[in-house]
A and B are shown apart, each in its own frame.
Chain A
Amino acid sequence: MKFFRILFITSALIFNSCAEDLDFDQVNDYVLRPIYTSALTSFTLLPAQLFDSNGVQQNSITDITNFEVFTDDFVKDNIVKIDFYSEIKNDFDRAVTINIDFLDRNNNVVYSFTPIQVQSKELDFTYLEEIAIASNPTLSETFKIRVEAVLENTGTQMNPNSTEEFEFKSAITVYIEADF
């Protein structure tokens, strides 16, 4: 009988365990919310770059690059907001307006930023634009970025030998909200 009593006590000890009521459904409430930031585009312009081979000043120049971050399904499906931030130094003798467009694969504009006007000799200009994807759903189709710099038409040409610079730097911050 002692044997069975020992066996019973041992079994009771080992099998009569409990586990706190866990709620595994909480996993469904988990939302991954990372915020990634990256350098985007930058350039430095000297007046000489604005003159064509005939010595005529161009009042606007444009450059374009692919930007294929949004082709990643995870980003495309879960992006909720982007912040576009730029720092500009305009040492030119005239105002410069920067026009930035996000384009899709077929060069259709999916989002146009408010033109950024930087006055002459404005050396610490910053600009922030926050864009909610819910209000601009096509933005996630972005495949290219086009940046145009437009010079103020003062009626006089700049000095092509001047070393005054126009500096533009930008960064993008991407807000993700992904279900588990």
Chain B
Amino acid sequence: MKKLFLFTCLFSVLQLQSQNKQILYDFADLPQTLLLNPAIEPSYKFHVGLPFLSGISSNIGSSNFKLTDIFANDGRSINDKISSIINSISSRDFGTINTQIEIINAGFRLRDNYYINFGFYQEIDAIGYFPRDLLVFFNEGNATNLNRPFSASHIRYKFDYLGVLHAGISKIINDKLSVGGRLKIYSSSINLQSNNNTGTFTTVNGQNSIYRHIFSNVNINLLTSGLIEDNEFVDDAKSIIKNTFFGSNSNVGLGFDFGLNYKISDQLQFSASLLDVGFITYKNNVKNTRIRGDHIFEGVEFEYDANSNLDYWGQIDQAFKDQLPNTEDEVAYTSFRPVKLNAALKYSFGEKRRLLCYNEVYKDYYENAIGAQLFSVSRPLTTQLALTLFYEKELIKNTWAKLTYTVDDFSYTNISFGFSTQVSKFNFYIMADNLLEFSNLSAANSLSFQLGFNLLFN
């Protein structure tokens, strides 16, 4: 049963895709690299990804916490383990899941200088920071935490489930430079987000009562779209999926990718891209909850006035409603997509080889390449960074391998491996990261792998 659970976890992970695709970036001329940098110049005439199978990949990660921390069979009490995790995490630690499944992906060469490509993919993107104060409040309560402010600013998360229709073009400007761009139209089905909250709850010793409970500068906004319709949770899977395909209740947005690829010399190349510069406006099935205000609660103060029959509890309830109102609204809101930046410096060396690309055009390349890549993604709290060193080699004709070492928020020891091969027109690629953790996947802070099938035509 446990193995089944784990397998299910891993399988669900299989459908997820890393935000940072350090192995896939500019690797082996794969069509999927165009989604990471629209300026990468493919060497084929046209390509078709196998529908639903051209881009299956996975990423799940959690900084400063892993499955074994809680579920290891080590004889320690789970209560102790959870308390120790809560004490060790900070509100800057987070968990992420990113899913992208390519439904279609195709492209073709337009004249010799342009490569046009387009497709549609579905994406689930979620990040949740650990609301440390909230966890402490629920795990320990306030009795042992007098004078400690519990902060609402730790409530910080974002979840998106959307479809992305995209079309891109890469253009060879000259022998050295190629540029590319991509237009994306987003169709969001579900969005949940909360960020920039303020406010504290503190219990202190009181003057007129034993304790004062102080709610200070509270401003909490919980925004949702696509989750609640007519005050009921939307539980119709068909309609949820349909809205990622521009269904009637979808929320539409617009975005762009930009890229460039510059050959500094015959062997040295610089490339960079900016992805998902865009936004989505959420108008349909919006339900927002907001709590704002300041309030001090000091218990019930009896007046012992025989002439009045005071409803003390009613007064307390009303004071909370007046001073700390909890309101709901359907106000539309706009959310920016997490912008990703890729940059890479690649040095090719070794045996020089020649590839027949298209229309009698040949491309020279080297057997090996080394280099460095930088990745960053804008997140609600900070920008997350990852630095990768890589070595890439053509093992035999049309069969490539890439080994990477990445330092990021999750670990300093992430070694990844990718493999791509082409037999006739048929291309297959597979990649996995965190190889050092493969001896014990449960102890990994993050896991990802990617695989797919394409047909490439010269």
Q: When the two chains form their complex, are residues B5 and A24 in contact, meaning their CB atoms are under 8 A apart?
A: yes
**How near does chain B come to A3, taking the closest CB pair, in angstroms?**
6
Q: When the two chains form their complex, are residues A63 and B77 in contact, meaning their CB atoms are under 8 A apart?
A: no
Interface size of B in residues (CB-CB distance below 8 Å): 61
| A138 within 8 Å of B (CB atoms) | no
Assign chain A's interface to a size class: 35 or more
Q: A18-B438, A19-B441 are in contact. Are A26 and B206 (CB under 8 A)?
A: no
| B435 within 8 Å of A (CB atoms) | yes
Interface hit among B33-41, B95-103, B234-242, B299-307: B299-307
Residues of B within 8 A of A49 (CB): 304-305
Q: When the two chains form their complex, are residues A32 and B139 in contact, meaning their CB atoms are under 8 A apart?
A: yes
| A22 within 8 Å of B (CB atoms) | yes
Q: When the two chains form their complex, are residues A14 and B417 in contact, meaning their CB atoms are under 8 A apart?
A: yes
**How near does chain A come to B436, taking the closest CB pair, in angstroms?**
11
**How near does chain B come to A178, taking the closest CB pair, in angstroms?**
10
Q: When the two chains form their complex, are residues A45 and B141 in contact, meaning their CB atoms are under 8 A apart?
A: no
Which of B71, B203, B300 has the most C-beta atoms of chain A within 10 angstroms of its own C-beta? B300
- List residues of B (2-16) whose CB comes within 8 Å of A's CBs: 2, 5-6
Residues of B within 8 A of A147 (CB): 302
Q: A14-B449, A41-B302, A52-B306 are in contact. Are A22 and B73 (CB under 8 A)?
A: yes
**How near does chain B come to A11, taking the closest CB pair, in angstroms?**
8
Interface hit among A109-117, A129-137, A150-158, A167-175: A167-175
Which of A16, A41, A65 has the most C-beta atoms of chain B within 10 angstroms of its own C-beta? A65
| A118 within 8 Å of B (CB atoms) | no
| B421 within 8 Å of A (CB atoms) | yes
Q: B209 touches which one: A7, A67, A169 (CB < 8 A)?
A: A169
Residues of A within 8 A of B67 (CB): 22
Residues of A within 8 A of B72 (CB): 20, 22-23
| B355 within 8 Å of A (CB atoms) | no
| B411 within 8 Å of A (CB atoms) | no
Query: CA A170 – CA B210 in complex, angstroms?
Result: 6
Q: In the complex, which residue of chain B has the Cβ closest to the Cβ of A2?
A: B396
Q: When the two chains form their complex, are residues A13 and B435 in contact, meaning their CB atoms are under 8 A apart?
A: yes
| A37 within 8 Å of B (CB atoms) | yes
Q: A171 touches which one: B79, B137, B299, B438 (CB < 8 A)?
A: B299
| B213 within 8 Å of A (CB atoms) | yes
Query: CA A25 – CA B313 in complex, angstroms?
Result: 42
Q: When the two chains form their complex, are residues A24 and B303 in contact, meaning their CB atoms are under 8 A apart?
A: no
A interface residues with partner B (beta carbon < 8 Å): 2-3, 6-7, 10, 13-14, 16-27, 29-43, 45, 49, 52, 61, 63, 65-68, 85-87, 145, 147, 149, 169-171, 173, 176
List 13 interface pairs A-B (beta carbons < 8 Å), by A numbering: A6-B399, A20-B443, A22-B68, A24-B2, A26-B71, A26-B78, A38-B297, A42-B302, A49-B304, A49-B305, A65-B300, A67-B300, A173-B143
